[in-house]
Amino acid sequence: MAKTIGIVLSERISAGLVIDNRIEGELCCFPEDAGDESALVELHTDGLVNVISEQVLRARRDHQDITAIGVSVPGLIRNGVVEEAPNLPQLKGARMGEMLTIALRREGIEVPVNIVNDADGIAAGLAATHGKLDSMIRVWTLGIGIGFGRYPFAQGVWEGGHTCVTLDDKETFCGCGGRGHIEGIMGHRAMRLRFLDMEPDEVFAAARQRPAGPETERCLKFVHLWHKALAAGIANSIHMSGAGKFYLTGFNVGFVELPMLKEYLHQMIKMSPLQAYTLEIIQDSPEVRIIGAAVTAEQSITYARKKAILANAQ
Ligand SMILES: [Zn+2]
């Protein structure tokens, strides 16, 4: 019976004990108040590591036999190091895996710590909770930034949220500073920068307003651009890695109008062998993210063991 702890760093930190791909007991969260969005941005890296190890202790309760700890972080992760994290900039360069291992050892917890990109974590969580641990899935997370994850895990970089989807010189709202990126159109932060006087949900509501109000035309134009950007991101992924299953999630997934998205996809993908793709909207849940972080940690141990066996055999 695999017992692991999954932790998710997003607008706040959530942790849970995962036994056989299911959450056991209550989630532990910091800050406890979900409305306090800036709490993590204000914490420096050491502070974050301390808060994470506190949540591990709370989530573990009296289960002394956990085998691994998985942490999902919004950023570009390589070998336990956060190489880039536009939405938690203080983490850039942090050796998270190593720092957490040391902090937990001080608490008497000596198990492997695995750091995973948050969107890859969600992909693993969806695969585990939808019985698809044996197939390839891709997921777009529509939140403060735009994440792109895939399962099964493979070495490489797929910062899909920073795919260029427009050549317009004025498209510079992406959190990474790059021009023409999906996140610069679809990300929550980017939408607030574009519409300084309106919140994203007001923009989408104004686009639907009948009879049309003074803002309807401008907002409707943006809603189309938003869907075109997502269609372009999916189409680019299909043209590079083939058709298949795509999940859409994140707290802004409610803005997606599937017929509009499918129409733009239809316009962008014309090669018939690439048209066998499916889309599914999944409501964002911390549980799926936590299970994903835990499953990835568990699989990374199996992977390390296999590698060691192969190395010994040579
Ligand atoms: Zn970008």
HEC per residue, 189-227:
HHHHHHCCCCCHHHHHHHHHCCCCCCCHHHHHHHHHHHH
Residue pair 117/147 in contact (Cβ under 8 Å)? The answer is: yes
Which protein residues have their CB within 5 A of the ion that is ligand 1?
162, 174, 176, 178, 181, 183
Q: How far is the CA of 84 from the centre of ligand 1 (A)?
A: 11
Q: Rounded to whole angstroms, what are the CA distances from 3 to 6, 17, 18, 59?
A: 10, 7, 6, 12
Q: How far is the CA of 251 from the centre of ligand 1 (A)?
A: 19
Q: Can you tell me whether residue 279 is helix, strand or coil?
A: strand
Report the C-alpha gap between 7 and 278 in whole angstroms. 29
Q: How many helices (H) and strands (E) does the chain have?
A: 9, 11
Q: Note the pTM of the prediction, 2 decimals.
A: 0.86
Report the C-alpha gap between 188 and 159 in whole angstroms. 17
How many residues would you count in the chain? 314
Q: How far is the CA of 150 from the centre of ligand 1 (A)?
A: 18
What percentage of the chain exceeds 90 in pLDDT? 74
Q: How far is the CA of 178 from the centre of ligand 1 (A)?
A: 5
Report the C-alpha gap between 70 and 116 in whole angstroms. 7
The pLDDT assigned to 284 comes to: 84
Nearest to 249 by CA among 276, 287, 275, 211: 287
Which tens digits make up the pLDDT trace of 71-121?
A: 999 888 999 999 988 878 889 999 999 999 999 999 999 999 999 999 999
Q: Mean of the pLDDT values across residues 258-280?
A: 96
Q: Mean of the pLDDT values across residues 175-189?
A: 96
Q: How far is the CA of 183 from the centre of ligand 1 (A)?
A: 6
Task: Kindly indicate the confidence band of residue 37, based on its pLDDT and cuts at 50, 70 and 90.
Answer: low
Task: Kindly indicate the confidence band of residue 33, based on its pLDDT and cuts at 50, 70 and 90.
Answer: confident
Residue pair 10/17 in contact (Cβ under 8 Å)? The answer is: no
Task: Kindly indicate the confidence band of residue 159, based on its pLDDT and cuts at 50, 70 and 90.
Answer: confident
Q: How far is the CA of 29 from the centre of ligand 1 (A)?
A: 29
Least confident range of 227-231, 240-244, 263-267: 240-244
